[in-house]
Amino acid sequence: MRIAVFASGGGSNFQSIVNATALKTLSAEVVLCVASRPEAGVIARSKRAGIPVYILNGTIEDNISELVNVLGNHKVTMIALAGFMRKIPRDLILLYPDRILNIHPALLPEFGGPGMYGSRVHQAVVASGSLVSGATVHLVDEEYDSGPIILQETVPVLPTDTAESLAARVLITEHALYPKALQLFAQNRIKLIDRKVSFIESQKS
């Protein structure tokens, strides 16, 4: 499996995916980083790992032909969104059906949708009085945070939590969860029928 990671920020989830491929816990190769901003910290991480970078100049729609060519040139078979602050257009979703994943820092369908990203999610969780939060890896469709859920993991919300302290604890969970979800695809263990996800048992020799 050949992964392109799309990111807008520092790239810690990008790094967790790259690390998992190096440790062979993820049977895949990260072959491309797509950054939405030239100042994104993920670019430095990608260069240190020797992974090519494509920087969007404007929206995905403005660059769709060039982006599709770049993805094709690198023979990308899976796209992983990792803190990517751009909506994925329908054209790209149709080119990679059920092969675009995103990680969200809460337990979807709660605390998702338009405007719910980054610290806003954790602020909403803390303000709600919820006792639990977590991380969700889901397939991307044409609506925000509404695609079929692949994996989730819970994180307790402590009485003393701020948005910042909760975010730090959820991020640790994200780093472990995302490579696990990608590995399910690498092993062809995901079955999707009518937007419902089931898992195929792994074949052991």
Cβ neighbours, 10 Å, residue 204: 4
Which of 141, 156, 143, 144 shows the shortest CA–CA distance to 192?
141
Element (H, E) at 21: helix 12-22
Q: Residues 104, 122, 138, 175: which is the catalytic one?
A: 104
- Judged by DSSP in three states, 173 sits in helix
For 153-188, letters b (16+ CB in 10 Å) and e give eebebeeebebeebbebbbebbbebbbebbbbbbee
Which of 64, 63, 42, 62 shows the shortest CA–CA distance to 53?
42
Q: How distant is the alpha carbon of residue 148 from its chain centre? A: 13
- Judged by DSSP in three states, 43 sits in helix
Active site residue 104: yes
- Annotated catalytic sites, by residue? 104
